[in-house]
Chain A
């Protein structure tokens, strides 16, 4: 019996249902945390679009023009995101998924399998865009007092709008896999995508968008948007979507652009299905071939490790972890994005114009130094949860090798600690020292901040490694591990720790700066309190560090119960 293609999606639905029915430890706290963050983002988007649309209404025709262009630009942003997401998701859904071998040996027509996979790709690539676009459009609609027709039009616009770029992305994947091996194509795409995202972030910051917010530059804003309109813009689905929605917002209908969206979406699906029937199986077959993988040997790491004063076991663990990390493009490429954000962060301090507040600039600079310390703490927590927390889980199904070898689990975990500590400490110390240098803060504050980062690095990396050992997820990839119950628990504890440290370091340091600016020495009581705070900060850090590691070792040892 031939069943319709949605039947092939049933295992995913059943798996989701079973997952929802099976309560695991931390499900509720994770749901509250992620749900809360999502709700806050949606509320901010709604409020932002409602406020902005309301503001633009004051500018009559100019406001309408800006709203129209804004909608078009909003959809253009989503268009590029959906196309890229479509390429990456299609690669996984059509060529790399584990269940494909099961489905392809079953008597399932290629066309049905292709449709099922395309629907899955469409849903996986576009759900996030839909979640973000809904509060924006509701905000715009509410601000313009739009009727139900606008929301119906929005629904009928978003569906074909999502189909077109995802279909194009899938077609690109089909072409890529028929040209390169699937795993190679995935690595290339991941790298290209992250480079694109990183450069976009840096370029957007470098054009200094804050200048556009000044009232006196409003005519420049109009010119700016006008120059961005190119002759090809009207040919893009984002323009059609923007026009359709704007017409509906104004109480009219733009059937031409709505028709363009729907006919293009349908044509894209028909053409993609035809291409799938012709090239899908050939591409899948190519992706199953296992030619010798090309990779970098990293002989330098072996040589370098020989020079380090480490035991054989620790040296081999370090070499193994480093090589595996560097050979997995999905791992190290995320560092590029992080690097872009760090550059951006430092650039912000570089362009910070504190001289506009002449009498307060000295004090404000030092306040900023503590803001910087807090930010560095949060960067440290983020880097730790993404790269250090999954260190034990990263052993995956190969963890039996460590457990059956004559290596104490204590040594294993401490090796993970040291290999995580060095990069985290170097990164955050550089960040803090460079930012404080750009700000020109008091030398005492510089030293205090550097010492605080040193303490925080030991504590947070210890906390990450320890909790990572207590809540390992050997089957999951590192980004999933970071979002697991243990990862969330780490982030909550890390944020609390950073806040405590800022208070303990910030209070005596700011006291010193205030007295120093006024030319007064610290009193004996103040000196005593400052020393107590410093000792408390160091003691808490050492306690968090050692207690977490001890608890991690105990958890690893309990694993054999």
Chain B
């Protein structure tokens, strides 16, 4: 559903993403992990059509993002890490506007908007201005928008930032349900527990390159010792052993 091949992004001499290839199948939740500055957000922004790759290709639902951007985007939902939306629109107006951008029209849009707002527990906020929402509520509005047009694939950048435990649980349930319905999800996260709990496959990126890819048990098996958690293997792969020096410094 999401197929990226040999994706490269260079800023002058600096290579932010260096030959990344990924394939996210329908119904799969694919975790995209890596330390800060590894190239996760740049990769996701290229898949979403926000950044033009220096080379390589992105295809969503069989449509090449460079050749058929409208068709590719029509199948895609995007949830950014920072939920900037129009502050002077109500949640309902924003979602109707967003639906309109995806060609949704007529009486059905109102029902669909209410359905999504109810799903994300924002039903009673439909007619309130977005400017009065908290960060977590704005994040949920963006998620409503991402799923509103029934996308075939969804790109999620740090989904749990700013969400309370109830909100985080809700998002996990929604993602699982969408996955069960055949939606492909590519999700970047720093929360390894979330990745371990939810993802079918995981890719780890470091300095712009994919350094490990596989199912959760396969990734876990890359660690030195038997460990139920991903943390130790993540630290091993991404050079986190320096953390051990912290004790001495602090």
* Residue ranges of A at the interface with B (Cβ–Cβ < 8 Å): 290-293, 295, 297, 312-313, 315-317, 319-320, 323-324, 327-328, 396-398, 400-408, 560-561
Q: Which residue of B lies closest to A395 (CB)?
A: B86
Q: State whether A400 touches B74 (Cβ < 8 A).
A: no
Residue B120 is within 8 A (CB to CB) of chain A in the complex: no
Q: Which of A317, A324, A327, A406 contacts B73 (CB 8 A)?
A: A406
8 nearest CB pairs, A to B: A316-B100, A397-B84, A405-B101, A406-B74, A406-B73, A406-B70, A560-B52, A327-B88
Are B89's CB and A401's CB within 8 A?
no
- Give the total of B residues in contact with A, Cβ under 8 Å: 38
A396 CA to B103 CA, complexed, in Å: 23
Q: Which residue from chain A places its CB closest to the CB of B79 in the assembled complex?
A: A404
Alpha-carbon separation in the docked complex, A312 to B101 (Å): 7
A404: chain B residues within 8 A (beta carbon): 48-50, 73, 76, 78
Q: From residue A510, how far is it (CB to closest CB) to chain B in Å?
A: 48
Q: Which residue of A lies closest to B48 (CB)?
A: A404
User: Whose C-beta in chain A lies nearest to the C-beta of B146?
Assistant: A404
Name the contact of B132 in the complex, choosing from A292, A398, A401, A402 (C-beta under 8 A).
A292
Establish whether residues A315 and B100, one from each chain, have CB atoms under 8 Å apart when the complex forms.
yes
Q: How far is the CB of B131 from chain A (nearest CB, A)?
A: 6
* In the assembled complex, B237 has its CB within 8 A of some CB on chain A: no
- With beta carbons under 8 angstroms apart, the residue of B72, B80, B128 that contacts A400 is B80
Interface: B51 (CB within 8 A): yes
Closest to B73 in A: A406
Q: A323 to B93, alpha carbons, bound, how many Å?
A: 10
Contact of B52 among A293, A320, A561 (CB under 8 A): A561
Given A295-B129, A316-B96, A400-B78, A407 and B88 touching (CB < 8 A)?
no
Docked complex Cα distance between A407 and B74 (Å): 9
Chain A residue contacts of B97, Cβ below 8 A: 316-317, 319-320
A324 touches B101 (CB 8 A): no
A-B contact pairs, 22 of them (CB 8 A): A291-B132, A292-B132, A293-B129, A295-B88, A295-B129, A297-B90, A315-B100, A316-B97, A320-B97, A324-B88, A327-B88, A397-B82, A398-B86, A400-B78, A400-B80, A401-B101, A404-B48, A405-B102, A406-B102, A407-B101, A560-B49, A560-B52
The residue that A312 contacts in the complex, of B51, B80, B100, with Cβ under 8 A, is B100
Tell me whether B100 and A313 are in contact (CB under 8 A): yes
B98 interface hit (Cβ, 8 Å): yes
Residues of A within 8 A of B145 (CB): 401
- CB of A560 within 8 A of CB of B50, answer yes
Please indicate the chain A residues that have their CB under 8 angstroms from the CB of B80 in the complex.
Answer: 400
Q: With the chains together, A416 CA to B125 CA distance in Å?
A: 29
CA distance A397 to B50 in the complex (A): 13
Contact of A405 with B93 in the complex, beta carbons under 8 Å: no
| B122 contacts A by Cβ under 8 Å | no
Nearest A-chain residue to B125, judged by Cβ: A292
Give the shortest distance, in Å, between A396 (CB) and chain B (any CB).
7
Chain A residue with minimal CB distance to B54? A561
Distance between Cα atoms of A406 and B100 in the complex (Å): 10
Inter-chain contact B101/A396, CB cutoff 8 Å: no
Q: Of residues 110 to 129 in B, which have CB atoms within 8 Å of A's CB atoms?
A: 127-129
Contacts of B76 in A (CB 8 A): 404
| A297, A313, A320: most-surrounded residue (chain B CB, <10 A) | A320
Pair B128/A292 contact, Cβ less than 8 Å: yes
Provide the bound-state CA to CA distance between A443 and B85, in Å. 51
**B104 beta carbon closer than 8 Å to chain A:** yes
Is B229 an interface position by the 8 A CB rule?
no
Which single residue of chain B is at the shortest CB-CB distance from A394? B86
A313 touching B101, Cβ below 8 Å: yes
Say whether A320 contacts B89, CB under 8 Å: yes
B71 CB within 8 Å of chain A: yes
Are the C-beta atoms of B128 and A293 separated by less than 8 Å? yes
List chain A residues, Cβ under 8 A from B71: 406
* B128 and A407 form a contact (CB under 8 A): no
Name the interface residues of B225-241: CB closer than 8 Å to any CB of A.
Answer: none
A399–B105 CA distance with the chains assembled, in angstroms: 22
On chain A, the residues within 8 Å of B74 by CB distance are 406
List B residues 35-79 near A (Cβ within 8 Å).
48-52, 69-74, 76, 78
Q: A313-B101, A320-B93 are in contact. List 6 more A-B contacts (CB 8 A).
A: A293-B131, A295-B129, A327-B129, A400-B48, A400-B50, A405-B101
- Contact B85 A398, beta carbon cutoff 8 Å: yes
Complex-state Cα separation, A422 to B96, whole angstroms = 24
Known: A293-B128, A293-B131, A561-B52. A316 touches B101 (CB 8 A): yes
Contacts of B102 in A (CB 8 A): 405-406
Query: Chain B contacts of A401 at CB under 8 A?
Result: 85, 98, 101, 145
Whether the pair A290, B132 counts as a contact (CB closer than 8 A) is yes
Chain A residues with CB below 8 A from B51, complex form: 560-561
Residues of A contacting B99 in the complex (Cβ-Cβ under 8 angstroms): 316
Q: How far is the CA of A324 from the CA of B51 in the complex (A)?
A: 27
Q: Is the CB of A328 within 8 A of B73?
A: no
Residues of A within 8 A of B96 (CB): 316
Closest to B63 in A: A406
CB contact between A396 and one of B48, B82, B84, B89 (< 8 Å): that residue = B84
Docked CA distance A525–B76 (Å): 63
Given known contacts A315-B100, A405-B101, A560-B51, A320 and B86 CB-to-CB distance under 8 angstroms:
yes
Residues of chain B contacted by A406 (CB below 8 angstroms)? 69-74, 101-103
User: Within the assembled complex, what's the spacing in Å between the Cα atoms of A319 and B89?
Assistant: 10
A320 to B98, CA, bound (A): 10
Closest residue of chain A to B100 (Cβ to Cβ) is: A316
A292: chain B residues within 8 A (beta carbon) = 128, 132
Q: How far is the CA of A403 from the CA of B78 in the complex (A)?
A: 11
Contact A323 B88, beta carbon cutoff 8 Å: yes
Residues of B contacting A405 in the complex (Cβ-Cβ under 8 angstroms) = 73, 98, 101-102
Complex Cα spacing A401 to B73, Å: 11
For residue A561, which residues in chain B have a CB less than 8 angstroms away from its CB? 51-52
In angstroms, Cα B11 to Cα A433, docked, is 54
Tell me if A403 and B49 are in contact (CB < 8 A): yes
Chain A residues contacting B86 (CB-CB under 8 Å) are 320, 324, 398
Asked whether A312 lies within 8 Å of B105 as measured between CB atoms, the reply is yes
A332 → chain B closest CB, angstroms: 11
Chain B residue at minimal CB-CB distance from A561: B52
Instruction: Pick the residue among A324, A328, A398, A560 that contacts B84 (CB under 8 A).
Output: A398
CA distance A560 to B72 in the complex (A): 16
Contacts of A295 in B (CB 8 A): 88, 129
Which B193-234 residues have a C-beta within 8 angstroms of A?
none
CB distance from B61 to the nearest CB of A (A): 11
Q: How many Å from the CB of B84 to the closest CB on chain A?
A: 4
How far does the Cβ of B110 sit from chain A's closest Cβ, in whole Å? 11
B residues near A293, Cβ cutoff 8 Å: 128-129, 131-132
A311 CB to closest chain B CB, in angstroms? 9
Residues of chain B within 8 A of A327, CB atoms compared: 88, 129
Chain B residues with Cβ under 8 A from A407's Cβ?
70, 101
User: A323 to B89, Cβ gap below 8 A?
Assistant: yes
- B52 partner residues in chain A, CB cutoff 8 A: 560-561
Q: What is the chain A residue whose CB lies nearest that of B82?
A: A397
Docked Cα-Cα span, A396 to B85, in Å, equals 9
User: Which residues of A are found within 8 Å of B100, using beta-carbon distances?
Assistant: 312-313, 315-317
